[in-house]
Amino acid sequence: MSSRETILQRLRNRTGGELTVPECDFSVLVRDNWSTKERIERFEKMIESVHGEVHHCTEDMWMDRLAEVLNTRGARNLLIPQQHEIGRALRDAGRDDLPELLIYDEPIESWQAHLFNEVDASITSTRGGIAETGSLILWPNDDEPRLMSLVPPVHIAVLKASELYTTFHEAMQAQNWAAGMPTNALLISGPSKTADIEQTLAYGVHGPKELIVLMIE
Amino acid sequence: MSETAEHTGHHIDVKEFHPRAQAAIHNPKIRKNFRSAMDGLMSKRKTAFEGWDLETLRDLGANVRLRALANLPDLLEQLEKKLTENGIRVHWAVDGDEACRIVRDICKARDAKTVIKGKSMVSEEMELNHYLEEQGIEALESDLGEYIVQLADETPSHIIMPAIHKNTGEISQLLHDKTGTDLSNDVEYLTASARQQLREKFMNADVGVSGVNFAVAETGTLCLVENEGNGRMTTTVPKCHIAVTGIEKVVPSMEDVSALLALLTRSATGQHITTYFNMISGPRKAEELDGPEEVHLVLVDNGRSSIYQDDELLDTLRCIRCGACMNHCPVYTRVGGHAYGTTYPGPIGKILMPHLIGLDEGRHLPSASSLCGACGEVCPVKIPIPDLLVRLRQESVDGDKLHPAKVRGHGAKRSSMEAMIWKGWAWMHASPGIYRFGTGAASKFRALQPSKAGAWTDYRTAPKLAAKTLHQRMKERGQ
Ligand code: SF4
């Protein structure tokens, strides 16, 4: 008998009594519907409490903010999506106050060392955010691959205030995650951190040292 | 670290709990490190649940886990089916050895020389690193705490914070000796230096091995909770990702995950959520530019299906490995994680390890408790840990007629002398005449009562028998 059958058979023929299936009432997870303003405030408070930054922007001026953010950090380059409107807009703008724009358009194998050692910042879109916990929802794809939000020391994420959900529970239902998930989905709630050395917080242990949210209102 | 150095490596003798606990209690550094860390964690947890109806939320957590366990075999099959559809290969292992061999075979088939690891307690349970080294495959931990523990050739002393027993100075010295990092008390510097070393390793590793926090049957999704990003690196950068997990980790849907996640991170570290919640539902697709080509899941039984047989012990399998029970345990806080000598220390270890290693090996575990009940009160999935401890204590002395013992290695603590004394005790209390005679005689000869009674009187005064028995006094009062 295979190990699979051995295990399943032991579970199916359990010796104890019939197991009852309890009712699960998820209403405790539901928050009173917060207004957009409340959601924005809560999101900002939460993400700032874990060392993230929120910049309030409009459709017209987010690029100015981005340039500022990158310049104050002396970023030499910025990794951008190829297809997404964020990437298109940045390329079309042709601004000279932005650093060199890089595109992730080849498989990681051909430029891994460069990504790990030379890229200073990246910008990605989000599929919304979660106010209660201060989280960004990301579904990486071929236009914005998984490592874009992980390897560069500064990750900048664009979040539309209108796409802020109150809770994770609400977000997954609204976006019908049960119908199917992408190969990789992420909640990101701050920069990479550790407290493994004597409970002292240190940022950027493996992933980005900084997480900057451009909130489009 | 002399007090732990002798108990490190892979051959800790679980039976030596008492001497290790003694040593730890008399070690001011261990006492201080754990006390301050646990105090911090307890207060952070409390703050994180402010504004929540915690009892209702814990009820939900318990019900979600019970529902999953009630359908365990069906859910495992559904999970396997869904994962397979998604392109993830599923393997089953009855014990840790088989799980190790499965990992080895996947590595060998890819001609892999180096494995980078994300945090996984199940792989600790399997002693995977040790096994892979024997097979000539380098296995490197990438969680900072695990990395430190591995460099020191020790085992984790806490399931969430593996290196909690060390302070900055010791870690700096260790990194200096093993990796050439400059000596420094600057945590940021030490962290940055580890980041650099580990980035090289991520780029060169052939295989990434991780644990799983929740496996979702409906969508075929493996969920990982972490702060550092090493879990994302481990599951994204190497060409092959192998996830290992206990069979109890499966839940029906993402909705269940939302409840358990809300409980897990707040209970563990007092965080509303961790930095990363990583959901993996398949290997890299043709059009994708990164991610592993191959993803495997190894479902490990290792004693869990035995626990599953018993209606009461089954509750052990609800555990979501948050560590709150250890953070709140007065024994754990004083002796630290290494004193237990087990993969999982603290209250969860006391109820889980006897099943994994046998109650003969682990016979001291259920008694290493004052039954204060703190663990049961904080457990996010309401595992009645104190009740299970009592049950295991009974099993370790072989139960009684009504409750025959079942756990492997039961009866290891039974002493025929003790059994006889209790039998005599019961007989005396069931016979009024003999009882009165006995207590009367004891009062009369109370002067002969010894003032020392073993370890009990080392720190306490022995209670003196009263000059008159209760019966005598009641009689004198004419009642
Ligand atoms: S037994 Fe409960 S408190 Fe302890 S680790 Fe498991 S879930 Fe957490």
Q: What is the pLDDT of residues B146-199, one digit of tens each?
A: 999 999 999 888 888 899 999 899 999 999 999 999 999 999 999 999 999 999
Could you give all domains of chain B from N- to C-terminal order, each with its CATH number? Answer: 49-305 (3.40.50.10420), 416-476 (no CATH)
Q: How remote is the CA of residue B317 from the centroid of ligand 1, in Å?
A: 10
Q: Is B80 helix (H, G, I), strand (E, B) or coil?
A: helix
Name the nearest CA neighbour of B395 among B307, B304, B326: B307
The answer for residues whose C-beta is within 8 angstroms of residue B310's C-beta and 6 or more apart is A15, A16, B406
Confidence of residue B448 (pLDDT cuts 50, 70, 90): confident
Give the nearest partner residue to B76 out of A8, A19, A147, using CB atoms.
A8
The answer for residues whose C-beta is within 8 angstroms of residue B356's C-beta and 6 or more apart is B125, B302, B303, B343
Q: Tell me, using a 6 A CB cutoff, whether residue B348 lines ligand 1.
A: yes
- Taking the CA of residue B326 as reference, the ligand 1 atom at the shortest distance is 4
Query: Which strand (E) or helix (H) includes residue B22?
Result: helix B17-25
Q: Mean pLDDT across the stretch B340-363? A: 92
Tell me, what's the pLDDT at B456? 79
Least confident residue range of A208-217, B238-247, B430-439, B449-458: B449-458
Do B37 and A199 count as a contact with CB atoms less than 8 A apart? yes
Domain range list for chain A: 34-192+200-216
Confidence of residue A32 (pLDDT cuts 50, 70, 90): confident
Q: Mean pLDDT across the stretch B284-303? A: 97
According to DSSP, residue B216 is labeled: E
To the nearest whole number, what is the mean pLDDT of chain B? Answer: 92
Q: Which of A15, A19, A24, A110 to mutate to test the interface with B (most CBs of B within 10 A)?
A: A24
Q: Tell me, using a 6 A CB cutoff, whether residue B319 lines ligand 1.
A: yes
Tell me, what's the pLDDT at B383? 98
Distance, in Å, from the CA atom of A184 to the CA atom of A181, rounded to the nearest integer, reads 8
Structural contact between residues B313 and B286, judged by C-beta atoms closer than 8 angstroms: no
- Give the amino acid at A207: G
The residue written with tokens 């780029």 in the block is B203
First to last CA, chain B: 64
Q: Mean pLDDT across the stretch A33-52? A: 95
Has residue B7 got a pLDDT over 80?
no
Confidence of residue B13 (pLDDT cuts 50, 70, 90): low
Has residue B133 got a pLDDT over 90?
yes
Judge whether A207 is closer than 8 Å to chain B, CB to CB. yes
Structural contact between residues A177 and B284, judged by C-beta atoms closer than 8 angstroms: no
Top-confidence range, A67-76, B188-197, B389-398: A67-76
How many CB pairs lie under 8 A apart between chains A and B?
257
Write b or e for each residue in B81-117: b if 16 or more Cβ atoms lie within 10 A of its Cβ, otherwise e. Answer: ebbeebbbebbbbbebebbbebbbebbeeeebebbbb
To the nearest whole number, what is the mean pLDDT of chain A? Answer: 96
Has residue B402 got a pLDDT over 80?
no
Judge whether B190 is closer than 8 Å to chain A, CB to CB. yes
Judge whether A16 is closer than 8 Å to chain B, CB to CB. yes
Top-confidence range, B252-256, B430-434, B468-472: B252-256
Chain A residues touching B294 at Cβ < 8 A = none
Do A10 and B191 count as a contact with CB atoms less than 8 A apart? no
Confidence of residue B405 (pLDDT cuts 50, 70, 90): confident
Complex ipTM tops 0.95: yes
Tell me, what's the pLDDT at B459? 81
Residue A17: closest CA among chain B residues belongs to which residue?
B311
Percentage of residues in chain B having pLDDT higher than 90: 75
Q: Mean pLDDT across the stretch B122-139? A: 96
- Give the amino acid at B406: K
Name the nearest CA neighbour of B199 among A210, A119, A207: A207
Confidence of residue B451 (pLDDT cuts 50, 70, 90): confident
Has residue B2 got a pLDDT over 60?
no
Sign of CA dihedral A6, A9, A13, A16: positive
Judge whether A29 is closer than 8 Å to chain B, CB to CB. yes
User: Which of residues A1 and B48 earns the better pLDDT score?
Assistant: B48
Q: Write out the DSSP string of A9-73.
A: HHHHT-SS-PPP-----GGGGPPP---HHHHHHHHHHHHHHTT-EEEEE-TTTHHHHHHHHHHHT
Q: Which of B143, B227, B299, B304 to mutate to test the interface with A (most CBs of A within 10 A)?
A: B227
Chain A residues touching B164 at Cβ < 8 A = 199
Judge whether B197 is closer than 8 Å to chain A, CB to CB. no
Q: Are strands A184-188 and A77-80 parallel, antiparallel or unpaired?
A: unpaired
- Taking the CA of residue B159 as reference, the ligand 1 atom at the shortest distance is 5
Q: Tell me, using a 6 A CB cutoff, whether residue B383 lines ligand 1.
A: yes
Write b or e for each residue in B380-417: b if 16 or more Cβ atoms lie within 10 A of its Cβ, otherwise e. Answer: bbbbbbbebbebbbbbbbbbeeeeebebbbbebbeeee
Confidence of residue B479 (pLDDT cuts 50, 70, 90): low
Top CATH class of A34-192+200-216 equals alpha beta
Distance, in Å, from the CA atom of B466 to the CA atom of B454, rounded to the nearest integer, reads 21
Judge whether B237 is closer than 8 Å to chain A, CB to CB. yes
Sign of CA dihedral B217, B218, B222, B224: negative
Q: Mean pLDDT across the stretch B343-366? A: 92
Q: Tell me, using a 6 A CB cutoff, whether residue B346 lines ligand 1.
A: no
Percentage of residues in chain B having pLDDT higher than 70: 97
Task: Write out the E strands in B118-178.
Answer: 138-141
Q: Mean pLDDT across the stretch B23-28? A: 90
A-facing residues of B in 61-120 (CB < 8 A) are 62-64, 66-67, 69-73, 76-77, 86, 92-94, 98
Longest alpha-carbon distance in chain A: 73
User: Is the model's pTM score more than 0.95?
Assistant: no
**Tens digits of residue pLDDT in B297-319:** 999 999 999 999 999 999 999 99
Chain B residues touching A136 at Cβ < 8 A = none
Tell me, what's the pLDDT at B6? 35
Residue A193: closest CA among chain B residues belongs to which residue?
B228
Q: Tell me, using a 6 A CB cutoff, whether residue B379 lines ligand 1.
A: yes
